Amino acid sequence: MKNRLKVLRAERNWTQSDLAKALDVSRQTINAIENEKFDPSLPLAFRAAKIFALPIEQIFDDGE
């Protein structure tokens, strides 16, 4: 699944570790999501949306 995590993170000058801590996941998970190797669960996607104060669809795109 395509996503804008990397861009949104860069806009805020956050490292992968910063975002991982905010989302309560490992840095490895953030890296895997950013590189589209792993799709986050709905609760994790909602947490990301809350942290970035954006609707989910502005962060994640299923490509359809």
Site string for other proteins, 5-44 (x = CB under 8 A): ---------------xx--xxx-xx-xx----xx-xx--x
On the CB side of 34, how many CA atoms lie within 13 Å of its CA? 17
1 vs 11, beta carbon nearer other proteins: 1
Residue 16: CB minimum distance to other proteins, A? 12
Closest CA to 12 of 64, 57, 48, 55: 48
The count of other CB atoms within 10 Å of the CB of residue 28 is 11
Binding residues for other proteins (CB under 8 A): 20-21, 24-26, 28-29, 31-32, 37-38, 40-41, 44
